[in-house]
Amino acid sequence: MYEVGGSIEDKYQVVGVCENQGGMGTVLFVKDESGEEQALKYCEKPEYYDRFRREVRLVKKYIENSKVVTILDSSLENTPPYFVMPKAEKGNLYSIIEEIQCNSELQESVFFRMIDCLDELHKNGDIHRDVKPENFLIYKKDRIVISDLGLAKEPDSSTRCTLTMQQGGTEEFAPPEYFTEGGFKHAGPEWDIHSLGKSFYRLLTGRDARLITSDGINSSLFYIIEKCSKNNPRDRYQTVADLKQGLKSAFDIIHQRIDAHSKYHDLLSKIEDRLEDNSKYSANQVLELLDLLSLMEAGERHEALRGFPRRIIRAIANNDKASDKLAVFINQYKKMFDDGDDFGFSYAETIADDMRTVFNGSTTNENKALALSFAIHAAASLNRFAAMTTCRDMIRGIKSDELAIRVADVIRDSGIDSFISNIEPSSCKHHLIKKVLKELGNELV
């Protein structure tokens, strides 16, 4: 619509077209009447005019804010409507991706500034809904601002979620709820946190963020990214403040400002002392302990897990806030076992007893089933009769329908060659468990 050399309302001379276009608009480079170069964004499609005007109104709320893009001028009644913003001299974050990948100090600086930008929106109740590296612009003195608020959701917004609006997002960085009915409309802070974690991944690796793998990423950082990107919104960081705290711990370890291994053992001693004194513990300290365990390198973590106190496992299992961390803990414990080759046969009993503690204390059936599965795996691997008995007792006592469904899958996965198939069906309390065991028994005949 506008060509280089053309004029817009006799106020702006078009001198170039931005390669990275923003959301529902086209971005031009223009010179204003003083000869200073700015960026002008206009909306070409009439069906997007209302959203474009809404973006301008929303951005103007942050007129004095150094972390959100600034609007210098706008003409919303013009056809097409446009607004003018300062030109980002250094482009967006993709322009420095190679520098980010090879410099951990720059990673820390950039990631924290991205969080701070998003925090400005969330403090006002606004959800961006299209967080990605190209929507962070870099100005003089390396100031980073967030831009492209065309899909943002305001508090108590009555904006109807249409298919057209959903198509405006970016699938690579979008959370799973993007693809569910009503998910876009009801987005909360955890939506942006998911997209921010995926953005970190893209900047660190250059790889497509739809599938994240740990290859080439520091384990402490990958833990942060993985937590941001959980499929269930409840399992992600719930606020950018929580994310910032976790990221700080990761970079403290990377830059050797703290030693996760030493801090873990110090905290473990404090928790055990409290349990010795009055049988009470701090739930937050237990959560922090699990985070430190995840931030460790694999070798240190395996060492810590070999002697993990059972009463703290009980504390974790009984803590409603720790349900997602408990699943991570069980999987870490299993990996430690699978990676080791020097366990005595009796270690199967240790694992079975630990997993029985989880099974009996956990508040989620998913974690109960995960614990049982690991206990069966350890007992079978080390061929330990006492551990097998513990597993059989857990299975026999199941009464809950939901747990029975999950455990039925665990039993089927264990197969006819497993000691589980020898459980007498009539000794079990739930009819589904009896049925599955009978089916396995028939296969043996």
Same domain, 141 and 58: no
pLDDT at 18: 86
pLDDT confidence band for 161 (50 / 70 / 90): very low
The string of DSSP letters for 48-71 reads GHHHHHHHHHHHHTTTT-TTBPPP
| pLDDT of residue 49 exceeding 50 | yes
pLDDT score of 21 more than 90: no
pLDDT per position as a tens digit, 340-386: 988 999 999 999 999 999 999 998 999 999 999 999 999 999 999 99
Is 276 within the bounds of a domain?
no
Tell me, what's the pLDDT at 163?
A: 42
Q: How far apart are CA 30 and CA 4, in angstroms?
A: 9
> Is residue 418 one of the residues assigned to a domain?
yes
Domain boundary among 254, 288, 310: 254
Report CA 94 to chain centroid distance, whole Å.
Answer: 21
User: Is the per-residue pLDDT at 25 higher than 90?
Assistant: no
How far is the C-alpha of 75 from the C-alpha of 81, rounded, in Å? 6
**pLDDT of residue 167 exceeding 60:** no
Pull the structure tokens for residue 429: 């309390």
Q: Which residues of 110-127 are buried (b: 16+ CB within 10 A; e: fewer)?
A: bbebbbebbbbbbeeebb
State whether 123 and 237 are in the same domain.
yes
Asked if the structure places residue 57 within a domain, the reply is yes
Length of the chain: 445
- pLDDT value at residue 23: 59
- Please tell me whether residues 14 and 30 are part of one structural domain: yes
Q: Using pLDDT thresholds of 50, 70 and 90, give the confidence band for residue 168.
A: low
Residues 114 and 217 in one domain: yes
Q: What percent of the chain has pLDDT over 90?
A: 68
Are residues 156 and 32 part of one domain? no
Backbone dihedral region of 60: left (phi > 0), alpha (psi from -120 to 50 degrees) or beta? alpha
Which value, in Å, is the radius of gyration of the alpha carbons in the chain? Answer: 27
Asked if the structure places residue 99 within a domain, the reply is: yes
Does 103 share its domain with 60? no
Least confident of 83-87, 273-277, 348-352, 428-432: 273-277
The total of other beta-carbon atoms located within 10 Å of residue 281's CB is 22
* Cα angle for residues 411, 412, 416 (degrees, 5° grid): 95
Give the number of other CB atoms < 10 A from CB of residue 311.
14
Indicate if 30 and 145 belong to the same structural domain: no
Sequence-ordered list of residues with C-beta below 8 angstroms from that of 6, at least 6 positions apart, any chain: 13, 14
**Residue 392 in this model has a pLDDT that exceeds 60:** yes
For residue 338, being part of any structural domain is answered with: no
Give me the pLDDT at residue 24, please: 72
Give which of 221, 227, 303 is closest to 261, Cα–Cα: 303
Band of pLDDT at residue 443, cut at 50, 70 and 90 = low
Q: Is residue 275 situated within a structural domain?
A: no
Q: Do 112 and 223 fall within a single domain?
A: yes
Count of CB atoms within 10 A of residue 354's CB?
A: 23
Record the tokens describing residue 311, joined without a space.
């009463």
**Which residues face 26 on adjacent strands?**
42
224 and 365 co-located in one domain: no
Q: Is 68 helix (H, G, I), strand (E, B) or coil?
A: strand
Report the domain count for the chain.
3
* pLDDT band per the 50, 70, 90 thresholds, residue 276: confident
Whether the CB-CB separation of 31 and 37 falls below 8 Å is answered with yes
Reported as type and span, the H/E element at residue 284 is: helix 283-295
Instruction: Mark which of 195, 224, 254 sits at the end of a domain.
Output: 254
Residue 41 lies in a domain: yes
Residue 445 reports pLDDT greater than 90 = no
The more confidently predicted of residues 22 and 314 is 314
- Mean of the per-residue pLDDT values of the chain: 90
Please state, in angstroms and as integers, the Cα–Cα distance from residue 144 to each residue in 64, 98, 112, 251, 281, following that order: 15, 17, 10, 20, 42
Q: Starting at the edge strand that comes first in sequence, how are the strands of the sheet with 7-8 ordered?
A: 7-8, 12-17, 26-31, 37-42, 82-86, 73-75
Question: What is the Cα–Cα distance from 365 to 401, expressed in whole angstroms?
Answer: 10
The residue type of 81 is P
DSSP readout, 234-248? GGS-SSHHHHHHHHH
- Shared-domain flag, residues 153 and 13: no
Range of 75's domain?
Answer: 7-86
Going by C-alpha positions, the residue among 137, 146, 133, 125 that lies closest to residue 173 is 133
Strand partners, 145: 137
Of 42, 58, 86, the residue at which a domain comes to its end is 86
Lowest mean pLDDT among 97-106, 239-248, 283-292: 283-292
Instruction: Please say if the pLDDT value at position 175 is more than 90.
Output: yes
Q: Are residues 202 and 226 in the same domain?
A: yes
This prediction's pTM: 0.74
Q: Are 395 and 359 in contact (CB under 8 A)?
A: no
**Residues 176-234 pLDDT 10s:** 998 888 778 889 999 999 999 999 999 999 999 999 999 999 989 999 999 999 999 99
pLDDT in tens, 78-94: 999 999 999 998 999 99
* Residue 282 pLDDT greater than 70, yes or no: yes
Residue 393 burial (C-beta neighbours within 10 Å; 0-12, 13-18, 19+): middle
Q: Domain check: are 129 and 224 in the same one?
A: yes
User: 31: pLDDT confidence band, cut at 50, 70 and 90?
Assistant: very high
- CATH for 46: 3.30.200.20
Does any domain span residue 116?
yes
